[in-house]
Structure 1
Amino acid sequence: MVRHMLNGPTMGTRYAAVFFAPDGMATEALAAALFEAVDRVDRQMSSWKPDSDLNRLNAAPIGEWIAIPRELMTVLAEALKIGRATKGAFDIGVGALVEAWGFGPGERRPDRSRIDTASVSPRAVTSASLQLDAAAFRARKSAPLSLDLSGIAKGFGVDEMARVMNSFGIQTWLVGIDGEMRAQGLKPDGASWAVAHERPDRYSRDAMGVIELTDRAVATSGNYRHWVEVAGRVLSHTMDPATQSPLDNGIASVSVLAGTCMAADAWATAFMVLGAEAASSLAAKFGLETIFVFCDGTVRSTV
């Protein structure tokens, strides 16, 4: 068995697959399948592509059933489930807030008039306002709702890469999109896959430790990679649904280990919002391991 690597662009960043397979293995078909898998997720769930299935649902009239693909249905169902489990801390219905604060596909700065409008307008409860018909692969909104899947879609893309690897009969692999990773099996020398735990620094990409992965996924949410500065104040891209504004609670990053990368991705965002204390009981209940890094440099880990 020899080490192979495939990678390419997706979702404004890059995907990569590292795996062990026989020497001389033809990888063209695998490379094409991996690209198609991540590209399909991007085409369906991007907030930045005007013709994505997500934006088609966002633009649909209230009360009208809209046909959606299987993958988008899977992600929406998981997002609503985790949203209910966290009492709304994970909320995909923050699309208008994301846009107003300058983190969407529009202008990269806060729009005060839109922020003020969002702050005084009651916002629909996502779990009650988005209805899914899983059997017929369709969805509808019962109230104005702007969905944003940036806290879960990338993780699902990693899971789709994992599905492709398994469909090709590859048993030992590490796949990822940016910092969201999933691993299966042990390396030929019996070692686990080693993934860097990134230091939450806005101006550099350095590792502060290593996470060992075997048949597990990891995703990180933080305040340091996507941000804007307004009047000397740094604003994070993560929205706090309770305050309807960028999160500011002293947490620099949260990494979550889970069985799927989709779940790890969503829970990492939820735990950023909830904080370490509130997250601890949920993490234990759902079998999740966590690493909290605070803005003062302290770390709290169950890994």
Structure 2
Amino acid sequence: MTFRMTRPALVTMTLVIAALAGCSFESEKKIWEITGPVFGTEYHIKVVLTEDTEQLDTLAGGISAVLESVDASMSTWREDSELSRFNHVEDQSNWFEVSGPLYTVLATATEVSDFSGGAFDITIGPVVNLWGFGPEARPEQVPDADLLQQRLNEVGYEKLQLRAEPPAIKVDSKQTLDLSAIAKGYAVDAVAEFLTDSGVEAYLVEIGGEVRVSGRKPGQEAWRLAIEEPVFGRREVNRVVALESNAMATSGDYRNYYESAGQRFSHTIDPDNGRPISHNLASVTVITETAMRADALATAFNVMGYDRARELAIRENMAVYFIIRAESGFKSHYTPAFSSYLAN
């Protein structure tokens, strides 16, 4: 884990002009960056503070502890995680008590599943594995139709039952839950809440592309965030947004896919038919109050495709940005609620 002064392209460090207070000046506030590895990716956290090494050390240690707690609860790669322990229970028809944070994520996942008509489904992991995007080996050919249908019949978010007090879950038929499309967003929120509780008023928290911000940078500038052009092998900016609160997440099929027999297979699986999505929607960006919800909604809208997702997002007055593959290049569309976030 490291912390340093930051000078990135879209989060440019500026200095606050010291405000005159009587006959003295307040200390300068600067942007400091705290980084480290987590969840197979990295976290990048920017805080606006006066120079105080002891405070930065305290924040860095606290951030590490928050992320370790999330990983120990929700990882599918750790055999000892809370989620893995449930996944390994043979008889899942009895109530399995879970922590408050895990219950919160599972409840939010269920809400987004209902909202999207099942486009978001945390039980779809066995079908994802069948296509080669999980711990199982990548197949050399398209899965057998009968086996695919069998696995599809065995899964379904509606099979999961939740109990609020005390927090617990159960299913009548064994399931394997996978929170990879929502847990990073929750981790961003958990770090953001830690920073707020620690008295940090202005910050940017980013983990694997999921972002949440608060306050303004020195100079009273909003945080500027890039929406990437959905191209493989290089990074290009499609549009820039300006935020001083809220969270943003993007879901797309342009980084994790493979080709077999001349056909392209996305890692995003449609729970309705158990097959990789094949529409022309390349990426979806959602802005909402929490990174957890933005993370899940971006995945759901990506599965739904442009027409269905746009109709739902406009009806619910949601801030969503779509990038669609065209005959030559890409076309961008956004909902009316998104327009206020676009940077000039």
TM range (shorter): over 0.9
Cα distance between partner residues in 2 of 1:106 and 1:121: 14
Residue 226 of structure 1 deviates from its aligned partner by 1.4
Q: Secondary structure of 2:296's match?
A: helix
TM-score normalised by the chain length of structure 2: 0.83
Aligned residue identity for 2:86: L
Indicate conservation of the 8 Å contact 1:48/1:104, yes or no: no
Matches of 1:4 and 1:144, distance apart in 2: 46
Q: Which of 103-112 and 131-140 deviates more?
A: 103-112
Q: Kindly state the Cα deviation for residue 109 of structure 1 after the two structures are TM-superposed.
A: 3.8
Q: Deviations over 1:238-262 (max 9, x none)?
A: 1101110111111111010000000
> Is contact 1:183–1:216 with CA below 8 Å preserved after alignment?
yes
Question: 1:62: Cα distance to partner?
Answer: 3.0
How many residues are treated as equivalent by the alignment?
A: 303
Match of 1:3 in 2: 31
Q: Percent identity?
A: 35
Looking at structure 1, the residues matched to 100 and 141 of structure 2 have their Cα atoms a distance apart, in angstroms, of 35
Q: Secondary structure, in 3 states, of the residue corresponding to 1:149?
A: coil
Q: Does 1:298 align with 2:326?
A: no
Distance in 1, Cα, partners of 2:141 & 2:43: 32
2:50 is the alignment partner of 1:22:
yes
Give the letter for the 2:333 counterpart: R
CA distance in 1 between partners of 2:322 and 2:192 (Å) = 26
Match for residue 130 of structure 2? Answer: 100
Q: Kindly state the Cα deviation for residue 118 of structure 1 after the two structures are TM-superposed.
A: 2.7
8 Å contact 1:152–1:265 — kept in the other structure? yes
Q: Deviations over 1:141-188 (max 9, x none)?
A: 112322211111111111011011101100000101021101101122
Q: Distance in 1 between matches of 2:197 and 2:334?
A: 34
The reply to whether residue 33 of structure 1 matches residue 62 of structure 2 is yes
Matching residue of 2:25? none
* Aligned residue type for 1:34: I
Rounded Cα–Cα distance in structure 2 between residues aligned with 1:125 and 1:233: 26
Contact 1:101/1:110, CA 8 A, preserved across alignment = no
Q: Is the 8 A contact 2:125 2:177 kept in 1?
A: yes
Gaps of 5+ in 1: none
Greater CA drift, 95-104 or 137-146: 137-146
TM-fit CA distance, 1:224: 1.1
Partner residue in 2 for 1:66: 96
CA distance in 2, matches of 1:45, 1:13: 15
Q: Give the TM-score of the pair, scaled to structure 1.
A: 0.94
Shift in alpha-carbon separation, 1:132–1:29, aligned structure 2, 3 A: same
The range that moved more, 163-172 or 203-212, is 203-212
**8 Å CA contact retained: 1:101, 1:115:** no
Q: Which residue of 1 aligns with 2:175?
A: 145
Q: Measure the CA separation in 2 of the matches of 1:37 and 1:287.
A: 33
Superposition map of 1:1-303 within 5 A: 1-26=29-54, 27-60=56-89, 61-109=91-139, 116-121=146-151, 123-124=153-154, 126-296=156-326, 297-302=330-335, 303=338
2:153 alignment partner, SS class: coil
Displacement of 1:89 in angstroms is: 0.9
Between the aligned partners of 1:203 and 1:122, the Cα distance in structure 2 is: 33
In the alignment, what sits opposite 2:10?
A: none
Gaps of 5+ in 2: 1-28, 339-344
Deviation, structure 1 residue 121? 4.9
Structure with the greater alpha carbon radius of gyration: 2
Report how far residue 54 of structure 1 moved.
1.6
Distance 1:301 1:113 in 2: 36
1:110 CA drift (Å): 5.9
In structure 2, C-alpha distance between the alignment counterparts of 1:103 and 1:115, rounded to whole Å: 17
Q: CA offsets per residue over residues 187-236 of structure 1, 9 Å max, x none?
A: 22121101111111121122222121121100000001211222222211
Instruction: Go from structure 1 to structure 2 and tell me whether the alpha carbon gap of 1:113 and 1:292 turns closer, same or farther (over 3 Å shift).
Output: closer
Distance 1:108-1:122 versus aligned 2 partners, 3 A rule: closer
The CA distance in 2 between the partners of 1:236 and 1:154, in whole Å, is 20
